[in-house]
Chain A
Amino acid sequence: MTLVVGAGMHPWGKWGRPFVEYGVAAARRALADAGLLWTDVQFVVGADTIRNGYPGFVAGSSFAQALGWSGARFASCYAACASGAHAIEIARTRILAGLCDVALVIGADSTPKGFFKPVGGDRHDDPDWLRFRLLGASNPAYFALYARRRMALYGSTAQDFAAVKVKNARAGSLNPNARYRKTVTAEEVLASPMVADPLRLMDICATSDGGAAVVLASESFARRRGLSGVRIAAVSTVGPTFPNTVLEMPNFATDSSAAVPPPERAFRSSIASAAYEEAGVGPGDLSLAEVYDLSTALELDWYEDIGLCEPGEAAEMLRSGETALGGKVPVNPSGGLASFGEAIPAQAIAQVCELTWQLRGAAGARQVEGARLGLAVNQGLFGHGSAIITVV
């Protein structure tokens, strides 16, 4: 197995600095955490940002140059919100293949103010441009479609959604890397302006600047150098199975089920399922989970998609307190996207940083007692998803 031997972050915020600075800061912290030098690193993988010009498209190169050309190999990858996890998978695969011993994975983003808008220019063949041009369908609109459907199918309420925010804000208040450190009340969430009915401003994650990095090493290298770490038991980057009958951002329509019936597992639940299978564990083994709460309602969808409860039971599980800090299986003990805002290429790596600290017992005031096994999941545009399982 591959080990995570170091984790580091640059705090999330709206700092207005170039993304490379956040990435370098996170990388140096991760290397210091591992007790390794930059010149020990043989392979760098950068998770790309598409909003920062060419340096963002070749993130691996940009970080390697900033840290100082060392002769290390590098790669860059883009998989929307799952970019960081796909970058980890590329590094892990190279280590497992025996082609290197130490790899550094870095993601960082610098974001403009406000909700995401498409990259500029007239692009009539780009669905991400067209959905804004023809429909005015922003990201929150898609999150809201899922939230409304959840309300219709399972009876979830605006109060349930607000309770997710309250829970995550409480956890985030204990995390020095989080952007939002204030606790909130359900009343505050429910009084925040409606953005995309039924979701309000405080139901939807912001966009943030931030950087995250992990150092991965082979078991033999870690043994030789006396490094301790948490083990990566699985990385799932499965794509959808045709026909995907959920309307995915930024699409105008779902796949057609006219000729082929929908698969037994919908895409989102297949992401975690593949990771459980690889690790040989199940949802009952989880000590904690970091899930991609682009909206409060989406966190509830994840409870069901990762098998914490049956479809339709997530709100009840939330109300029971089982997913809060101190509960049976805390979800988003980091505070989640609700407390961070999304720094796209860094976010999936930040999830793994949290798993690493939790499993080491180094998560401070938000420590999940006796944490032994953690899951991080996310889903991004264009069929990109990821699930990573780490164990002590």
Chain B
Amino acid sequence: MARLAIDGWFTIEDGVTHLLGTRCPGCGTVCFPPQPGFCRNPRCEDDSPALARLSRRGRVWSYTNACYPPPAPYVPAEPYTPVTLAAVELEREGIVVLGQVTPDLTVADLSVGMELELTSGPLADGPLVWMWGRPHA
């Protein structure tokens, strides 16, 4: 299997992608990317947030694209097609997570509030990142 573009932020098992965050056992606050060692809730002194898989579906908070190739260290595909980005709200975790959108979707297909599901796909130079895609039934 292709390597992941970053270790510890997401997993792919049996073709199913999960974002990895941390959840504080003391207060329930969730962090993405994972934040071990302390909890960001200012009224919580717990120091043992545990790794947790985040919800795989959420609703679009907002979206955009990059009409021009993003600068390094991004490695744009050649020829370049616009990268689409979506910020997706995960209800249970109470967070919004930014990600690329699968290449079959463009900004014309997206709207604020629509449901997307987590998957993964390759960057132009090979390694995999998490991506937001069409929900599967």
What residues make up the interface of A, taking CB atoms closer than 8 Å to B?
A: 114-115, 117-118, 122, 124, 129-138, 140-141, 144-149, 152-153, 193-199, 242-243, 245, 247, 251-260
With an 8 A cutoff between CB atoms, is B93 at the interface?
yes
A38 CB to nearest chain B CB (Å): 39
How far, in Å, is B68 (CB) from chain A's closest CB?
Answer: 7
Known: A243-B41, A247-B96. 18 other contacts (CB 8 A): A133-B5, A133-B73, A134-B129, A136-B69, A136-B83, A144-B65, A147-B64, A148-B63, A195-B68, A197-B65, A242-B41, A243-B29, A247-B87, A252-B32, A253-B96, A256-B93, A258-B93, A260-B27
B64 touches A259 (CB 8 A): no
**How far, in Å, is A129 (CB) from chain B's closest CB?**
6
8 Å CB interface, B88-121 against A? 92-100, 107, 111-113
Which residues of B sit under 8 angstroms from A260, Cβ to Cβ? 27, 29, 41, 43
Complex: chain A residue closest to B54, CB-CB: A253
Q: Cβ of B122 < 8 Å from any Cβ of A? A: no
Query: Is A197 within 8 A of B67, CB to CB?
Result: yes
Residue of B nearest to A193 (CB): B67
B residues within 8 A CB of A153?
112
User: Most A CB atoms within 10 A — which of B32, B71, B83, B97?
Assistant: B71
Q: Which of A132, A196, A252 contacts B64 (CB 8 A)?
A: A196
Q: Tally inter-chain residue pairs, CB-CB below 8 A.
A: 141
Q: Which residues of A contact B66 (CB under 8 A)?
A: 136-138, 140-141, 196
- Knowing A145-B87, A256-B31, the reply to whether A132 touches B72 (Cβ < 8 A) is yes
4 closest Cβ contacts across the A-B interface? Answer: A136-B70, A257-B94, A152-B112, A144-B64
Known A141-B66, A193-B67, A195-B68; contact A256-B94, beta-carbon cutoff 8 A: yes
- The answer to whether B126 has its CB under 8 Å from any CB of chain A is no
Interface residues of B, CB < 8 Å — how many?
Answer: 48
A136 touches B96 (CB 8 A): no
Determine the distance from Cα of A258 to Cα of B54 in the docked complex, in whole angstroms. 12
Residues of A with C-beta under 8 A to B33: 252-253
Q: Collect the chain B residues with CB atoms within 8 Å of residue A255's CB.
A: 40, 95
The CA-CA distance from A136 to B6 in the complex, in Å, is 14
- Chain B, range 51-77, C-beta contacts under 8 Å to A: 61-74, 76
- Contact across chains for B64 and A133 when beta carbons are under 8 A apart: no
**Which of A132, A242, A258 is within 8 Å of B30, CB to CB?**
A258
Cα distance, A316 to B113, chains bound together (Å): 24
A contact residues around B62 at 8 Å (CB): 145-146, 148-149, 152, 247
Q: Are B76 and A136 in contact (CB under 8 A)?
A: yes
Contact A259 B112 (CB under 8 A): no
CA distance A262 to B127 in the complex (A): 36
Contact A134 to B6, CB < 8 A, known contacts A196-B67, A242-B41, A247-B87: yes
